[in-house]
Amino acid sequence: MTIDWRYTVEENLGILSVAGYLGPDAVRRFTGAVGWALARGTGPVVVDLTELRSWSAEGQLAITEAARRLARAGRVLELAAIPADGSLVPAGDCPPIPVHADLAAALAAHSAVHGRQVEGRHEWRTTGWPQAAESGD
């Protein structure tokens, strides 16, 4: 079982939405999605886990490695809507990972910082991205 992802770039913010199960079989695909985010945006990357069913220990390690990778590029990883079945406990050498209750809270936090709504939207996704998630676009 793997994941599907959608990456949306808005001014000074990237949103990497992940759907499915972030387990050992999905780590490479998630790592590739993070690489996509690094190449196509600037500023913080909010990893939206609203559509994620669950994650394994390997999936959680992939999240912390993504935080390190983004930090090396001068960017921050944030999480929105972590799965209810577990909490993320990053290693001591991991950069801080802000956690938001949901994507709306993450966007509100960034709107408050920038004092305006973000403009200029671009989006990429895997072909298997759930159709139901598109209704809000």
Tens-binned pLDDT, residue by residue, of the chain (137 aa):
689 999 998 878 999 999 999 999 999 999 999 999 999 888 999 999 999 999 998 999 999 999 999 999 999 999 999 887 656 666 678 899 999 999 999 988 887 665 544 445 556 567 777 664 444 44
- Could you tell me if residue 44 is inside a domain? yes
- Exposure of 121 by Cβ count < 10 A (0-12 exposed, 13-18 middle, 19+ buried)? exposed
- Which tokens in the block code for residue 49? 């886990």
pLDDT, residue 136, reads 45
pLDDT, residue 118, reads 42
Q: What is the CATH number of the domain that holds 119?
A: 3.30.750.24
Contact 7, 125 (CB under 8 A): yes
Closest by CA to 11, choosing from 125, 121, 129, is 121
- Could you tell me if residue 132 is inside a domain? no
- Could you tell me if residue 134 is inside a domain? no
- Could you tell me if residue 91 is inside a domain? yes
- Could you tell me if residue 135 is inside a domain? no
Phi, psi (rounded to 5 degrees) for 2? -130, -165
- Could you tell me if residue 87 is inside a domain? yes
Q: Print the domain residue range for 55.
A: 3-127
Written as one letter, the residue type at 129 is: W
Tally of domains within the chain: 1
Phi, psi (rounded to 5 degrees) for 107? -65, -40
Q: Which H or E element spans position 27? A: helix 27-40
- Could you tell me if residue 63 is inside a domain? yes
Q: Is the pTM for the entire model greater than 0.85?
A: no
- Could you tell me if residue 133 is inside a domain? no
Torsion angle in degrees (nearest 10) through CA of 65, 49, 79, 125: 70
Contact 3, 14 (CB under 8 A): no
pLDDT, residue 26, reads 96
